[in-house]
Amino acid sequence: MNATTGFTNPADRHVEGAFPATAWSMLRQMGSEIPEEERIGWERLARAYWQPLYFFLRRRGADHHAAADEVQGFFAHLLSREFVRRIERGNGLFRSFLLTSLQNWRADQRRFAVAQKRGGGMAPLPLHELEAVSALPVATDASPEEAFDRRWARALYDNSLAALQARLESRGRGLLFSALKGLFTGQTTDQYQEIATRLNMSGGAVKQAALELRREFSGVLHEEIRRTVTDEALVDEELRYLLKLLRG
């Protein structure tokens, strides 16, 4: 995953069997009685989903340091077993659940003026990633909720791209992925024949490989979204909404 959209190292996160079935299972893993499982659950959840929350807080007027501090304090709150026991899935969208939970937590902070211990004893979010995201512009043409959803869409897209890269690298096709990914991410002006020459392939073979890559990416993106919903019927609706945000 690139520095603008999340923390997870693709080699760590997307290997087969390394990622829990859903975002909900990550949250429940945080309530494990086994310290190592609890730590892993916290890190996976925080690193996968911290940026949408950060951008929501920035759009609400928090500066970089305040937003970063609140995100870490919120994840410390999520770590509490009392919270995990009270989880309700709401409308089945993990992004809605997470944003609502953050807003409720902030309201409690203000209402009771409770001093939270930031980080809860867990590893903080990586400093270099926090500094990298602090340089990104915060959209002023969107509400805080819209800013959250846009960053959520980008995070899921880049998570999926990282997952596809890990899959192809495990099959010895990492060079092909690196050459072709720009064709559907819009990050290259290279033509099929230029790529074909570079990879010592025919132009037709490159076109076919690009088509297969797009199809496989579509499947990976569906899988990523499926992890964040509780009802299979929500997957396509969520995909359409997130793609609309990315195109906008």
Which pLDDT score, from 0 to 100, does residue 179 have?
87
Query: Could you tell me if residue 121 is left (phi over 0), alpha (psi between -120 and 50 degrees) or otherwise beta?
Result: left
Which pLDDT score, from 0 to 100, does residue 47 have?
78
DSSP 179-215: HHHHHHHT-----HHHHHHHHT--HHHHHHHHHHHHH
Instruction: Give the pLDDT mean for 108-121.
Output: 57
Instruction: Give the pLDDT mean for 233-243.
Output: 91
Which pLDDT score, from 0 to 100, does residue 168 have?
93
Percent of the chain clearing pLDDT 70 (strictly above): 63
Match 């906008």 to its residue by tokens.
248
pLDDT band at residue 114 under the 50/70/90 scheme: very low
Which pLDDT score, from 0 to 100, does residue 94 have?
84
Which pLDDT score, from 0 to 100, does residue 126 have?
58
Instruction: Give the pLDDT mean for 197-225.
Output: 90
Compute the Cα dihedral for 13, 126, 238, 162 and give only its sign: negative
> Which of 180, 140, 136 shows the shortest CA–CA distance to 155?
136
Pairwise pLDDT comparison (100 vs 189), residue with the higher score: 100
Which pLDDT score, from 0 to 100, does residue 18 have?
33
Pairwise pLDDT comparison (114 vs 149), residue with the higher score: 149
Report the distance separating Cα 243 and Cα 60, nearest Å.
24
Percent of the chain clearing pLDDT 90 (strictly above): 19
Q: Model confidence over 40-53: pLDDT tens digits?
A: 666 777 777 888 99
| Three-state secondary structure call for residue 244 | helix
Instruction: Give the pLDDT mean for 198-226.
Output: 90
Which pLDDT score, from 0 to 100, does residue 55 have?
92
Residue 165 and residue 217 in contact, taking contact as beta carbons nearer than 8 Å? no
Q: Model confidence over 20-73: pLDDT tens digits?
A: 346 666 666 555 565 666 666 667 777 778 889 999 999 999 998 889 888 888
Which pLDDT score, from 0 to 100, does residue 16 have?
32
Count helices and strands in the chain by DSSP H and E runs: 12, 0
pLDDT band at residue 12 under the 50/70/90 scheme: very low
Spatial CB neighbours of 204, under 8 Å, sequence gap ≥ 6: none
Residue 29 and residue 84 in contact, taking contact as beta carbons nearer than 8 Å? no
Residue 57 and residue 50 in contact, taking contact as beta carbons nearer than 8 Å? no
